[in-house]
Amino acid sequence: MEKINFKHSIIFFNFCILISPIYLMLNFEPIVFCLFLILILGISHGALDNIKGSKLLKLFGYKNSIFFYFVYIFVSLLIIIFWLIFPNTVLLLFLVVAAYHFGKEDTVFSFKKKFFISEFLFFLKGSAVIMAPLLFKRGETNEIFKILNFNLFEAKFFSDEFLIVMLCLSFLSSFYISREENADLKIVMIIDFFSLIILNLFLSPVLAFTLYFCFLHSIRHSISLIFELDKSFKLGLKKFIKKAIPLTIATGVMFLLAIFFLNNFYKLDEAIYKVIFIGLASLTFPHILLEYLLEKNEKRT
């Protein structure tokens, strides 16, 4: 896995360098393309949550998987309802949780310190995903947040100086987390950070996030799931695709239906933005909760 993650980071870094001038030459906003990538690659990395849910239920002594689907969907709907009522609070919480999730899941080796220290370092590392577009494309990023009824980042507190400090802390946290690892793993952490910087420096915020989310975060997570299913990559990939297709299609259909409904009240681009980010939030919370509960209960057994 270490060699695969190293090669993956190198390939993604070069991809970021190549895609930037192409985007600048074409100069267009591919929101529909971003939606397509997220529906195909982004969502699929969590499409095995039903299998993990069944494993968690067994640890608790439950055999009926319907209970898992009920709780998972209930949490997702709860996030959507809370977002509609308290958009600023829920989106801020989502960004904090997402930063921690990105920081932890994109750390390709085990890192354990005291609870608060490790969790805080993961948050700092993943915060680059949010801080970079705010620093390099503040106007475009805030326009997206306005569509989502979120205006917190317009406050004076989030100055350029603050964002630069946060990005520096994100870089330093990557250094600290990998300080005891070998050179390849250190390079992975550094290259991943600069890939994010390159994407957000040259691309639009939504495209930069989509490419990071789909081609770095999601593919990396999917690769780990493939090897969990089978030691052979080819066999594991076949199993992964077969198991991921049902929930990926079901989620994609729900996203498209939501866009169709919202398009009656908003412009198409605005409807897509709402579905992408509110939809991802509604899936991220139960996904992270499941990962946390499974990790904690597997340790006990």
The domain segmentation of the chain, as residue ranges, is 2-300
pLDDT of residue 209: 94
Interacting residues of 5 by C-beta distance below 8 A, sequence separation 6+? 108, 185, 188, 220, 223
Instruction: Give the mean pLDDT of 196-206.
Output: 93
Instruction: Give the mean pLDDT of 84-111.
Output: 87
- Alpha carbon distance 89, 243 (integer Å): 35
Long-range contacts from 57-64, C-beta under 8 angstroms, 24+ separation: 59/294, 59/297, 59/298, 59/301, 60/297
pLDDT of residue 207: 92
- Rounded to 5 degrees, φ, ψ at 78 are -65, -40
Instruction: Give the mean pLDDT of 216-235.
Output: 87
Model confidence at 228: pLDDT above 70? yes
Q: 36, exposed or middle or buried, with CB in 10 Å at 0-12, 13-18, 19+?
A: middle
Interacting residues of 9 by C-beta distance below 8 A, sequence separation 6+? 187, 188, 191, 192, 195, 216
Model confidence at 215: pLDDT above 90? yes
- Rounded to 5 degrees, φ, ψ at 27 are 55, 65
Q: Look at residues 200, 202, 209, 196 and name the one whose alpha carbon lies nearest to residue 25.
A: 202
Instruction: Give the mean pLDDT of 103-115.
Output: 79
Average pLDDT, the chain: 87
pLDDT of residue 260: 92
pLDDT above 70 as % of the chain: 96
Query: CB 73: neighbour CB atoms within 10 A?
Result: 12
pLDDT tier at 32, thresholds 50, 70, 90: confident
Instruction: Give the mean pLDDT of 224-243.
Output: 86
**Residue 279 CA from chain centroid, whole number:** 12
- Alpha carbon distance 132, 199 (integer Å): 9
Q: What is the DSSP letter of 154?
A: G
Tokens of 46: 């969590």
- Distance set, CA 159 to CA 60, 152, 153, 154, 271 (Å): 47, 12, 9, 9, 29
Q: 281 with 78: CB under 8 angstroms?
A: no
Between 54 and 133, name the one with better pLDDT.
133
Q: 39 with 255: CB under 8 angstroms?
A: yes
Out of 103-107, 175-179, 205-209, the most confident range is 205-209
Model confidence at 298: pLDDT above 70? no
Query: Which alpha helices (DSSP H) does 29-137 contain, by range?
Result: 31-37, 49-60, 66-85, 87-105, 115-126, 128-136
- Alpha carbon distance 108, 96 (integer Å): 20
Between 116 and 28, name the one with better pLDDT.
116
Query: Which alpha helices (DSSP H) does the chain contain, by range?
Result: 2-26, 31-37, 49-60, 66-85, 87-105, 115-126, 128-136, 138-147, 160-177, 183-202, 205-212, 219-229, 233-262, 268-300
Model confidence at 300: pLDDT above 60? no
Model confidence at 110: pLDDT above 70? yes
Instruction: Give the mean pLDDT of 271-299.
Output: 83
Tokens of 229: 């299913």
pLDDT of residue 181: 83
pLDDT above 90 as % of the chain: 32
pLDDT tier at 68, thresholds 50, 70, 90: confident
- Alpha carbon distance 140, 145 (integer Å): 9
| Amino acid letter, 30 | P
Instruction: Give the mean pLDDT of 83-89.
Output: 87
- Weakest-pLDDT range from 13-22, 37-46, 124-133, 276-285: 37-46
Query: CB 101: neighbour CB atoms within 10 A?
Result: 21
- Distance set, CA 14 to CA 7, 167, 196, 240, 273 (Å): 11, 21, 12, 27, 28
